[in-house]
Amino acid sequence: MKISSSSKIRGQIVPPPDKSISHRMLLFSSISTGKCTVHNLLRSEDTLRTMNFIKSIGAFVKDEGERIVIIPPVKLQEPSFPIDCGNSGTTSRIGMGLLARENFFSVLYGDESLSKRPMKRVVKPLSALGAKFDGRNNASNLPLSIRGGNLHSTRYVSELSSAQVKSAFIFAALSAEGESIYVENVQSRDHTEKFLSQFDLIKKDGNELKIIPGDIPAFTFEVVGDFSSAAFFLVLSIIHSNARLKINRVGLNPTRTGLLKVLKRMGGNIEIEKEEGVEPVGNIVAESSELKGTEVLPEEIPSMVDEVPLIALLGAFAEGETVVHGASELRKKESDRIEATVNILKKMGANIEGLEDGFRVRGKTPLHGAKVKSFGDHRMAMLASIAGVCSDGVEIEDAECVSISYPAFFSDLKGVME
């Protein structure tokens, strides 16, 4: 894919539906007590993996365009074949929590990238509830086999801040005998607990979550726009020299929008209109800004984990130095996102240095055109695209991987370039 530069950025976009929430709504509906309707569900490679996942355990799914109707089975069925999670960490990890509820045998596998990603982080808390696992490297990597059911309550203190690990634990603990406690030192994305708190299935007390076993009633839900996808256009409008964009109906959950705080302290020109709800939603207007460097601390990372590579791009356009620490989790994503970010931006002329847990960028440094790799990572392909629009263009290998989360990314990008 060749991306050209643009002298002017104008317009409005509606970002695709939130990927994290779309996964969860499909999984929630498969264990609910009746027919569920989900509006504005994301159709992407990853979420279609989750859709096939719930079909394989007995859910009926009807795609009606504007909405998806899901009818859960009376009892989840043992899958006839191993379940292919593709490249989707959310499908595999939260799916493990759902499968751990049932006293049947199941197997999960994925593509080459997913098969390298760590799964022990989910196996440990689910094993503490009583589920049994086996798999490669002592159940550290896919393929993994699972036999669950007859779960007991426990108190689990997580070693890391991860919404996937937390959600897997919660899904399983909802079917355990007795209440369970999950503790995380730094709060990760809270989509799972926000949804379940409506039904009094979860209670929050400081950094502890109490999971109360029970059933999820049939529900209707509308998925908000994905902040992680919108973030690329947000950064585009701030670093471009002649830009103004309005991003409509985007999710504004505070556990997801840490990037907004970083942008504001760097000098980003942003206006926000916000509506409260189960998931807050609103509009963001952003335009060309004069930026100054900043330091991002480890405790800030969980609220912007998917947006951290964009901070490196912001740093290249900011006066002074921008440093990120505490982001070693990026090395365990679809690609090593620290190494990939450094590789892409350095090829385009940025003064960037990779650190074990982040990076250091010295700006302002004009970027130039280059041929770069996406490393098969949708976020890296989008990062390179935004950098190309704000420089002399870019050529990206394997750019089609954006379909994992944002199939319309390139058409939306072309639509705001003048």
pLDDT (tens digit per residue) in 222-273 = 999 999 999 999 999 999 999 999 999 999 999 999 999 999 999 999 999 9
Max distance between CA atoms of the chain, in angstroms, equals 62
Residues 240 and 218 grouped into a single domain: no
Return d(Cα 156, Cα 170) in angstroms, integer.
11
Specify the amino acid at residue 401. Answer: C
3-class state of residue 50 by DSSP: helix
Q: What angle do CA 306, 311, 313 make, to 5 degrees?
A: 115
Q: 403 and 86 in contact (C-beta within 8 Å)?
A: no
Residues 105 and 229 grouped into a single domain: no
- Give the end of a domain, one of 191, 222, 253: 222
The residues carrying an active-site annotation are 306
- Give the end of a domain, one of 205, 222, 239: 222
Distance of CA 387 to the CA centre of its chain: 21
- Give the end of a domain, one of 184, 204, 222: 222
Residues 209 and 262 grouped into a single domain: no
Phi, psi for 257 (deg, rounded to 5):
-110, 30
Residues 250 and 200 grouped into a single domain: no
3-class state of residue 80 by DSSP: coil
Residues of the domain holding 27: 19-222
CATH assignment of the domain containing 355: 3.65.10.10
Distance of CA 242 to the CA centre of its chain: 30
CA distances from 114 to 108, 348, 407 (A): 11, 28, 20
CA distances from 166 to 78, 106, 141, 205, 208 (A): 24, 21, 18, 15, 11
pLDDT digits (tens, 9 = 90+) for 90-133: 999 999 999 999 999 999 999 999 999 999 999 999 999 999 99
pLDDT at 210: 98
pTM: 0.93
pLDDT at 65: 87
Report residues of the chain scoring pLDDT below 70. none
